Chain A
Amino acid sequence: MTDTAQAPAPPPALDEQLAALGPREIAVGLPTYDNAATVPAVVAAVRAGLRAHFPDAAALVVNADAGSLDRTPEVLAESGVPVVLARHEAPNGARAAVPFHGVPGRDAAFRLTFDVARRVGARVLVVLEADVTSIGEAWIERLVRPAWEEKADLVLPAYARHRYEGTITSLMLAPMVRALFGRRLRHPLGGAFVLSRRLLEHVLEHLGPPTSGRDVTDLWLLGTAIAGGFCVAEAWLGPRRIESRTRTTELPSVMAQALGGLFTLMERHDALWLGVVGSEPVPALGEPAPLATAPTAVDVERLVGAFRRGVRDLVQIWELILAPETLGDVLSLDVRDATAYRFPDPLWARVVYDFALGHHYGVVHREHLLRSLVPLYLGRTAAFVNATRAVSDAGSEAALELVGAAFERQKPYLVERWR
């Protein structure tokens, strides 16, 4: 294959590398794919963070590379930190369909990284994104400390984001995670995470062989940790700036991947969520600092326009996915004045649940199903902007709290129809 022909020579065998390094207390996982431009800064932050806050801990970086063509592993090897270079061959299809998180075959990267972390006897495994440019040494401290001190088993990042950044997360993923797993997290797909040794062992026990068809995803880790009774915490890290050529920002793709991943998880691991009732906040470390200004001007008119076009073009698909009363309510939304457009939270929860159910029962080709959710999401986002444009940060948080509460309240609707 062309990829193979152009790829650098594979790194030395893993066993050889590990034998040379010996035991390590902190393992830093860096799944990469063409991140040569940004990875030095990430490694520098890791080194500074470890030196400043965990000076006595033996550490290593585990690089699981998806077949970079830009010498990412070589750049890492030259960075002066102890590195284990592992390589997984992401399927060509996964490389062509650029994922929102930038790393094709993230599942395989996790498996490799977890395996290495166990073999070096790590007390803490911290997985970072190789293309994040806003990382500083403080991130390492905030992420690692709770697990290092055995106060948390899974630490997830909470980023300082403007209220209109990450609306797939804030309006869909976070409310879904709250309702499904019973934990109120801000950024369940925040890219970085930390596992304690306990949790790492538990995960390795449950992940099954690569041939099992199970994807080891961020959300699976989360669900597994919660179901296993492990302590989940959040660490406030500040803004998350990304510089990537391998992440897609094409909305339908992002939606299909992120929500598709969640819906698939729901399907394959329903024992993780079906019985969960209620929710609770998780301990948060550090202080939140939301950005004050919008990253770009949000065009509500266009968002509502996209919803209108969805109503126009996708009703035949929605008829197959949405319950009749849900569809009726969606079609009744008043779209005439974009600035006054509203999308009630309970209706939104039912819409997303109907899509999860439609995915579960395969009522429409799943890719079509997920992509047809986009106009609804854009409409809901417009409604969120309308509702929060003139309110304080606290008001905006309160609005998101209501969204989460609506998902939680409507969970019986989902559970009753799931079986």
Chain B
Amino acid sequence: MSLRPAAAREWYKDAVFYEVHVKAFADGNGDGIGDFVGLTSRLDYLKDLGVDGLWILPMYPSPLRDDGYDIADFYGIHPAYGTVEDFQTFLDEAHARDLRVIADLVMNHTSDVHPWFQASRSDPASPYADYYVWSDTDARYRDARIIFIDTETSNWTFDPVRKAYYWHRFFSHQPDLNYDNPAVRAAMLDVMRFWLDRGLDGFRCDAVPYLVEREGTNCENLPETHAVLKEIRRVIEREYGGDRLLLAEANQWPADVRSYFGDGDECHMSFHFPLMPRIYLAVRLEERLPIVDIFTHTPAIPPGCQWGLFLRNHDELTLEMVTNEERAFMYHAYAQDPEMRLNLGIRRRLAPLLDNDRRRIELLNSLLLTLPGSPIVYYGDEIGMGDNVYLGDRDGVRTPMQWSRDRNAGFSAADETRLYLPVITDPVYGYQTVNVAAQAGTPSSLLNTMKRLLAARRSSLAFGRGTIEFLRPRNPRVLAYVRRYQRETLLVVNNLADSPQPVELDLRSLTGSTPVEMLGRTRFPTIGGTPYFLSLGPHGFYWFRIERPDEGDEPYGIEDTAI
């Protein structure tokens, strides 16, 4: 019998995730490419950092034309990353450290070299013939937008073998699976079972809005797509007992993303895409409105569900979910060099986006860790790694993890020419300066600050589970909110401006309570009937735990007979 059935099932609500490329983290066999052996050897680092779960980017055999999002075999591990046995060892070792692991799963499409596609294109009579979306014309589904506008001109590509067009929402080498075909749905469930049977804690489900197509629609977020996801959730819940996670990647407006939670019977988590650019916007504008506004437009979600929050990830900083004016401003503010732009986004890491301004980096992490949702930290951002915008596509933010000032940043013992991507070597972000070893030994480093922030976050369930109430101080540069969960109340105050700011907060509902700053554990003056005055340094922030005056009076239930 489980002692905490509900809590165990909803572990993701309290978790901080760490997004990591197997290839980029640590090279265990010296071939220049990170692998599961290397990743396993670095699990203690992740445990020590204070994260709770790992999100592994695609690990399957693939021609790697889209960094593994073009899967050629759902049942294997890419040979460069190791074997299924290596993966199993990694998973067991992670679990031994109480780290959960979810893995990317591309449900919408496969690589064009996948045997399913090869059978589908070459033999219309094969069982796989209808595994993909075929058409004699490229005129169907014209209302569907093209996502990779920099590389693709149509969502249809003509296949000379089958002499028909196949549908693809992403690259033309990534044909979409046909979810109208029950065999495809069953096949995908079998894929999921294969990994869940090994103990995997869930999937980050890539590109879920596009599973099903219908004429006359934009082919996104269709009811039929939701039906597929509900079916998957139902089966996984039934067969695996309810603590396995489905995290939806649906780059949509919150109101549309909301539908991916269903009635608590679809995906457990979904990324909050529009929040991320607005955090950057708010800090540049020194104005809280963009953040408050997007939460105003964020619908409530079912009880068992959770938002996934992130500052950066392996893709470009997507600006699809902002207005044209905002996008222009963002480009101006964060990506003046055209090389930094990709599709409708900015391909940069956190530190370079923020001009390596330590105060801003910490402020953004403060927001990430205290706004409602489960934070996802992109590998390397905890030490302020830089990027290389001159590498192709999104490779600039996928360079080797910088462990030390040793050869290849301590990432690999291989000859440097064999590395899958060059390490960052520029004078500001180069591995000689920015690396784990150096920061681990420096108490004031970003890495140690991140550890302290993560430890403070761990001390309260209210961060992951609490309600949020935005305060409306007169100073628009200050973003303050109250998080409440059960008996706990937290107050978070952030200065979005690059200059010191005063703020008066209306905390009358907390009169008599004492704010206790959570990082330095300093007790601030008790809240009285007048506005509560605080001053914040440039980009400064406070996390307060609100201690009620009556705290400590209730019994534990053991004291009368403790000895």
Chain A contacts to B: CB under 8 angstroms: 100, 161, 164-169, 173, 189, 249-251, 254, 258, 294-299, 301-303, 305-306, 308, 311-313, 315, 331-332, 334-337, 339-340, 378, 381, 386-387, 389-390
Contact = CB atoms under 8 A, between A and B. Distances in A.
B563 A258 contact: yes
A295 B560 contact: yes
Leading 8 A-B pairs by shortest Cβ distance: A298-B557, A165-B561, A339-B4, A336-B14, A296-B557, A337-B7, A168-B562, A168-B563
B96 interface: no
Interface of B is mostly: loop
Interface stretch (B246-254, B393-401, B457-465, B492-500): B457-465
Given A166-B562, A251-B562, A302 B464 contact: no
Contact of B7 (A100, A169, A254, A340): A340
Interface string B10-27: 000010000000000000
B557 A312 contact: no
A295 B560 CA distance: 9
A306 B554 CA distance: 11
Nearest to A161: B561
Nearest to A189: B563
6 contacts: A297-B557, A298-B557, A302-B554, A303-B556, A303-B558, A339-B3
Given A168-B562, A312-B521, 19 more contacts: A100-B563, A164-B557, A165-B561, A249-B559, A249-B560, A295-B560, A296-B557, A296-B558, A298-B557, A299-B555, A302-B554, A303-B556, A312-B516, A336-B461, A339-B3, A339-B7, A340-B3, A340-B8, A381-B558
B278 interface: no
B1 interface: yes
B236 interface: no
* Residue in B14, B460, B545, B558 whose Cβ sees the most chain A Cβ within 10 Å: B558
A293 to B, nearest CB: 13
Nearest to B463: A336
A166 to B, nearest CB: 6
A315 B556 contact: no
Contact of B3 (A161, A165, A258, A389): A389
Contacts of A166: 561-563
A339 B8 CA distance: 10
Contacts, number: 96
B556 A302 contact: yes
A193 B255 CA distance: 72
Chain B contact residues (Cβ within 8 angstroms of A): what range? 20 to 34
B17 to A, nearest CB: 14
Contacts of A167: 558, 562
A296 B4 contact: no
B237 interface: no
B263 interface: no
B319 interface: no
Nearest to B47: A332
B521 A331 contact: no
A311 B459 CA distance: 9
Contacts of A165: 558, 561
A306 B562 contact: no
Contacts of A294: 557
B207 interface: no
A381 B561 CA distance: 13
A139 B90 CA distance: 58
B50 interface: yes
Interface string B124-152: 00000000000000000000000000000
Contacts of A339: 3-4, 7
A305 B486 CA distance: 12
A374 to B, nearest CB: 10
Contact of A390 (B1, B518, B562, B563): B1
Contacts of A296: 555, 557-558, 560
Interface in B458-476: 458-461, 464
A168 B486 CA distance: 29
B159 interface: no
A249 B459 CA distance: 28
A125 to B, nearest CB: 23
A298 B561 contact: no
Contact of B455 (A251, A331, A389): A331
B98 interface: yes
A337 B486 CA distance: 12
Interface in B30-56: 48, 50
Interface in B422-438: none
Nearest to B518: A312
A251 B559 contact: yes
Given A340-B4, A340-B8, A312 B560 contact: no
Nearest to A255: B562
Contacts of B14: 336-337
B4 to A, nearest CB: 4
Contacts of B7: 337, 339-340
A236 B464 CA distance: 48
A167 B562 CA distance: 5
A197 to B, nearest CB: 30
Contacts of B486: 301
Contact of A306 (B3, B48, B455, B556): B556
B521 A315 contact: yes
Interface in B412-429: none
